[in-house]
Amino acid sequence: MVGDYQVKQEVIDLAIKKLGLHVWLDAFASRTNKRLTKYCSLLLDQGAYKVIAFSLNWERLTPYLHSPVKLILKVLAKVERDKAEAIIVLPAWRAQMWSQLLQEMIVQQVDLGDSSVCLERSHQIVELQQQVPPGNMNAVYLIGSQKEKHFSNVRKKRLNQMMEP
């Protein structure tokens, strides 16, 4: 759930700098865990730029995306559909439903390190003795139109191969 944990401010600031994309909207945040000045909240919040980031077109927003794990596939599909440029933070897990889609949109990625070091848990998650997602976390610069470009190149190669004697 949004607010259970977030990337430490100094970790995400360095990752954004390394990735070289100016993001200005924290798409899955609350007033207490936002990492950027402007943020979208899942709940009604007068300080939020907008409630529910999925209701916006992300094409010109260049959002910072650190969603709950269960929403990663939906977030990646939104980046692709809106042909957005974004930075997403997610676990470095292999063989997930969203892995192939992620690979098709990657421009660059930064390893943030082990989740127990790069993430900070909320007071509530500490009290409930819950853990952050296991393993390493990545910050990834994505472009939704990369997938189109990837498939266009594959298609051209196949056509060229078919034309060869």
Q: Residues 128-163: pLDDT tens digits? A: 666 677 789 999 999 998 655 554 554 445 555 555
Map the chain to HEC letters.
CCCCEEECHHHHHHHHHHHCCCCCEECCCCCCCCCCCEEEECCCCCCCCEECHHHCCCCCCCEEECCCHHHHHHHHHHHHHHCCEEEEEEECCCCCCCHHHHHHHEEEEEEEEEHHHHEEECHHHHHCCCCCCCCEEEEEEEECCHHHHHHHHHHHHHHHHHHCC
Q: Which domain holds residue 72?
A: 5-163
Q: What mean pLDDT, rounded, does the chain reach?
A: 86
Above 60 in pLDDT, residue 18? yes
pLDDT single digits (tens) 80-106 = 999 999 999 999 998 899 999 999 999
What integer pLDDT is reported at residue 124 of this predicted model? Answer: 64
**Averaged pLDDT, 13-30:** 95
What integer pLDDT is reported at residue 155 of this predicted model? Answer: 46
The count of structural domains within the chain is 1
